[in-house]
Structure 1
Amino acid sequence: MDVSRLPNHHPVPWDTNFDAMALGDMLARTAGRTPDAPLLQFLGRTYTYAEMLRDAQAFARALVARGIAPGDRVGLFLPNVPSYVAAYYGAMMAGAVVVNFSPLYSVEELAHQVADSGTRLLVTVDVPALYATAEKVLHGSALETLVVSSLSQMLPKVKGLALRLFKRSQVARVGYGADTLRWDALLEEGARAGETLPAVDAQSLALLQYTGGTTGTPKGAMLTHANLSINAQQTAGLNPFGDPAGEVFMGALPFFHVFANTALLNHAVVTGASIAMVPRFETKQVLQTIETYGATGFPGVPTMFQALLDHPDLAKTDLATLKVCISGGAPLPGPLREKFEAATGVRLVEGYGLTESSGVVSANPYQGMRKRGTIGQVVARTEVLLLDKEDPTVIVPDGVPGELALHGPQMMQGYWNRPEATKEVFVEHRGKRWLRTGDVATLDEDGFLEIVDRIKDMIAVGGFKVFPSQVEDVLLNHPAVKEALVIGRPDAYHGEIPVAYVTLNAEGAATGEELKTWLNARVGKHERAGEVVIRSELPKTMIGKLDRKALRAELQD
């Protein structure tokens, strides 16, 4: 089925041409057009496009002066704070490759990905938990430099002073020195530097965005400036509401996530819109921010919309400016969508994307026709094939479910230093290279996609991907545990939660509740199990491997 010939209910025609831009040039272009327009609204302080461009350029010049060369990796270990935006675009202006790290990472996770990516310099903030983790990685890895931004300096003056004076426990004691630098001092250094910034090719690598696979081994998706800038324009093309520069996005999604990178940050910058940003999702603060700044659009994950629906302040919050909410990162439950729309009067549409596709592949239209239970129509210039689930060299007939494969200008170049994994995830058809998603889908006569199954074992917990093998590995360290299988169980709030099934050693003595408590103290928040079930045996394949698929089937019967 040729998607370019199917009905298109998005405002921008499927065959629209987009500009491949370096992301630093994209910021400079918008700042040149509307320098005084707000880019960020952060807890009462406004940052204009001109201010963010100035800081990004200063950071870029400081990096060049300190020997960061084109292609070197610069890591961001940050929540949603203004220094993230300046560091993101600034590193790219220097020709460096940005590596996003989740603020939820443990020391071991951060150290592993710093080593895998070859990150030379890492930017963080003086929040105690983040700084403590980053400092340990600095002194226990090949990381060369740590740059620490100050949360109080990013706040309005009164709030910043109050934080320094009365909430000192919320500010880390940073050991500045030759390898640990102040963010503001580095920007001053860059502002004085006379270094010429390199010309950055739009086809060069811009971002390493770590994802996982069926084995749970983290892999860095290699995304170019062209991948990211075009996906931002594809996302902007979904907007039917007129002048996009007038939009105000609710910035609750974490910027380190590829969904936020495209749907929030790059989307805003390419159009001149603004972002009303919060450091992390807190329901009451998000509701206040929507009302205070007149947010018009809210990209989020299903758990965010469930939390808004559950909060007592929802009914008394003025949502009149909010035109649409866009749900991604995990399947959107139908009852949640219906209840949210009934309670707010705001349309909640479901979309779909992947780390490997720069973030956005498809969405239901913001106005007019949509189909419930689908992930909508693909964005412009994106092509779809449905492949045989057992043999990806075969295209299934029209109307038959198949593994969703994608071709478009936003698809990644491959996995960082993982040629075999790259080879496995791409397939050749019709003279083009197609990205295999691992999701089984159907495509109807109107071009609407529906995900009907999942080949991969990943568990989607509130927009985060949990890899069962990693949780299983932790469980197997318990002396009582012999075998472990972890699968996802549907959950009304999180979408899914991990549930572990274990067998015990002959001498093992532990209850399911004891194992759950032990496990959840050793994994990330999104990896915590909702239950640990002890069984006498677990299903196995004919060759003796634990059979996750059979366990799922057994539990569904």
Structure 2
Amino acid sequence: MTRTLRAVDAREPGAVLDALRVALEGGPAVAPRTDDRVPADLPGLVPQAVSLVVETSGSSGRPKRVALSSDAVLAGAAAADGALAGPGQWVLALPAHYVAGLNVLVRSLASGTEPALLTPGHFDVAGFVAAAGRLEHPVRYSSLVPAQLSTALDAADEDAGVADVLRRFDALLVGGQATPGPLVERARRLGVTVVRTYGSSETSGGCVYDGVPVGRTRVEVVDGQVELSGPSLAEGYLDDPERTAAAFVTRDGLRWYRTGDAGTVSPGGVLTVSGRLDDVIVSGGEKVSLGVVERVVREQPGLADAVVVRAAHARWGEVPVVVTDTAPPAPSAADDLAALRSAVVAAAGRAAAPDRIVRVDAVPVLASGKPDRVALTRLVAGLAAS
């Protein structure tokens, strides 16, 4: 059996919310788009189980269409409620084609509450505060990316009223990229409840909160790779059986999603993700995880959104290179790089020291909002060749 697949312009979050409501009731499935163009290869029909198709991109840049069922996204919503303060009302501050933004809408529908919708585009703290003022439910949530949280905290430092609004949320979920520890600590010192989430479109969004699986989610590390299981897993990738077979496996009667992330699970069951398995370089004969380097770099002043990519090097083979769109905080570029290298070496070893800092007007991003690492790697390579 099949059902119709309907493309919806995510620049109109209210339209996505209405379409999701219909889809979860058994109507046409929803494919949120960043524009009003319907791709020629978007199928008109999908399996009956599929209610939501999220387009995303992996590290290779190849687009993926993640097929999610109503049961999966609603299981994710129920797990979130159980891990937080129960059903509540949400502020949508993320694009409605991101899985985290879609989660806000699904959880609102599951809770029977009306979300406060921000106008898509540049994150505006005043708009966020105004949206929070429209919430009527005693339990309040929002989902942010680290850059938005950092901007909100900057405003809270200047305006006690903003700080009060942030503290009023029962939880601000932060995910979508590695969240610097100092940023979380800064929020918590202010009395803001921040929950770090881990998950992806393939798991209906965040399913691990502060390292702990929520609901019926299970986590295992197999050959160094993080694998996730539970009722919120996607059906697979739409019309892509090879990629589906590679990413989703069955073991001991359970279906698992192979995340491609490296990590460990403590004896107490807390997950720590150390980076992507495909981001390891060999520099001077030593293995270096670019994810580890990036995490340290993002903890330095002014580099919370920096991206670390690989670059060829005549002596060392490959080296880490930092790309950022922020101005240098140090008096000189040389001092800036020296301080950064010192911090990285202290945390990750000499081979991990960044070779250089490349400053750009804007870091390119994929449709998912994640940094376009393929484009940045090519950019860095082009600069070296010129």
TM-score by length of 2: 0.70
Q: 2:221 aligns with which of 367, 380, 386?
A: 386
Residue 432 of structure 1 pairs with residue 254 of structure 2: yes
Tell me if the contact between 1:332 and 1:495 (Cα under 8 Å) persists in the aligned partners. Answer: no
Tell me if the contact between 1:443 and 1:450 (Cα under 8 Å) persists in the aligned partners. Answer: yes
Where does residue 250 of structure 1 map in the other structure?
91
Name structure 2 gaps, 5 residues minimum.
281-292, 314-322, 326-357
Shift of residue 218 of structure 1? 0.5
Where does residue 146 of structure 2 map in the other structure?
302
Name structure 1 gaps, 5 residues minimum.
1-68, 121-200, 365-375, 389-401, 459-486, 504-511, 538-557
Q: Could you say which structure has the larger radius of gyration?
A: 1
Where does residue 188 of structure 2 map in the other structure?
341
Residue 354 of structure 1 pairs with residue 354 of structure 2: no
Q: For residues 520 and 265 of structure 1, what CA distance do their matches in structure 2 show?
A: 28
Which consecutive aligned stretches of 4+ in structure 1 deviate over 6 angstroms post-superposition?
Answer: 515-525
**1:248-286: per-residue Cα shift (whole Å, max 9, x none)?**
322212221111222x11112212233222123312211
Residue 205 of structure 1 pairs with residue 50 of structure 2: yes
Q: For residues 328 and 71 of structure 1, what CA distance do their matches in structure 2 show?
A: 32
Q: For residues 236 and 521 of structure 1, what CA distance do their matches in structure 2 show?
A: 34
Distance 1:517 1:271, change over 3 A: closer
Distance 1:261 1:517, change over 3 A: closer
Q: For residues 341 and 521 of structure 1, what CA distance do their matches in structure 2 show?
A: 30
Instruction: Name the amino acid aligned to 1:334.
Output: G
User: What SS does the aligned partner of 1:305 have?
Assistant: helix
Q: For residues 448 and 521 of structure 1, what CA distance do their matches in structure 2 show?
A: 33
Where does residue 118 of structure 1 map in the other structure?
43
1:507-522 equivalences under 5 Å are none
- Count of residues paired in the alignment: 315
Shift of residue 488 of structure 1? 6.8
Shift of residue 440 of structure 1? 1.2
Shift of residue 521 of structure 1? 9.3
Shift of residue 334 of structure 1? 0.8
Distance 1:339 1:266, change over 3 A: same
Where does residue 284 of structure 1 map in the other structure?
126
Shift of residue 102 of structure 1? 2.9
Where does residue 79 of structure 1 map in the other structure?
11
Q: For residues 82 and 72 of structure 1, what CA distance do their matches in structure 2 show?
A: 20
Tell me if the contact between 1:236 and 1:271 (Cα under 8 Å) persists in the aligned partners. Answer: no
Instruction: Name the amino acid aligned to 1:227.
Output: A
1:144-159 equivalences under 5 Å are none
Where does residue 5 of structure 1 map in the other structure?
none
Identity %: 25
Tell me if the contact between 2:53 and 2:66 (Cα under 8 Å) persists in the aligned partners. Answer: yes
Q: For residues 279 and 364 of structure 2, what CA distance do their matches in structure 1 show?
A: 23
Q: For residues 342 and 271 of structure 1, what CA distance do their matches in structure 2 show?
A: 30
Residue 535 of structure 1 pairs with residue 357 of structure 2: no
Instruction: Name the amino acid aligned to 1:437.
Output: T
Residue 329 of structure 1 pairs with residue 192 of structure 2: no
Q: For residues 412 and 455 of structure 1, what CA distance do their matches in structure 2 show?
A: 21
Q: For residues 502 and 94 of structure 1, what CA distance do their matches in structure 2 show?
A: 52
Q: 1:223 aligns with which of 68, 88, 102?
A: 68
**1:150-191: per-residue Cα shift (whole Å, max 9, x none)?**
xxxxxxxxxxxxxxxxxxxxxxxxxxxxxxxxxxxxxxxxxx
Q: For residues 216 and 412 of structure 1, what CA distance do their matches in structure 2 show?
A: 20
Distance 1:457 1:500, change over 3 A: closer
Q: For residues 63 and 92 of structure 2, what CA distance do their matches in structure 1 show?
A: 26
Shift of residue 351 of structure 1? 1.3
User: What SS does the aligned partner of 1:259 have?
Assistant: helix
Residue 452 of structure 1 pairs with residue 235 of structure 2: no
Higher strand share: 2
Where does residue 236 of structure 1 map in the other structure?
81
Tell me if the contact between 2:228 and 2:257 (Cα under 8 Å) persists in the aligned partners. Answer: yes
Q: For residues 26 and 76 of structure 2, what CA distance do their matches in structure 1 show?
A: 22
User: What SS does the aligned partner of 1:89 have?
Assistant: helix
Q: 2:33 aligns with which of 84, 101, 104?
A: 101
Q: RMSD between aligned alpha carbons? A: 3.7
Tell me if the contact between 2:145 and 2:175 (Cα under 8 Å) persists in the aligned partners. Answer: yes
1:258-269 equivalences under 5 Å are 258-262=99-103, 264-269=104-109
Residue 412 of structure 1 pairs with residue 258 of structure 2: no
Distance 1:289 1:382, change over 3 A: same
Tell me if the contact between 2:184 and 2:194 (Cα under 8 Å) persists in the aligned partners. Answer: yes
TM-score by length of 1: 0.50
Shift of residue 292 of structure 1? 4.9
Where does residue 442 of structure 1 map in the other structure?
264
Shift of residue 299 of structure 1? 1.7
Q: For residues 532 and 98 of structure 1, what CA distance do their matches in structure 2 show?
A: 38
Tell me if the contact between 2:16 and 2:32 (Cα under 8 Å) persists in the aligned partners. Answer: no
Q: For residues 521 and 354 of structure 1, what CA distance do their matches in structure 2 show?
A: 20
Distance 1:453 1:522, change over 3 A: closer
User: What SS does the aligned partner of 1:293 have?
Assistant: coil
**1:66-99: per-residue Cα shift (whole Å, max 9, x none)?**
xxx9522211122253222112323554632211
Distance 1:443 1:523, change over 3 A: closer
Shift of residue 448 of structure 1? 1.1
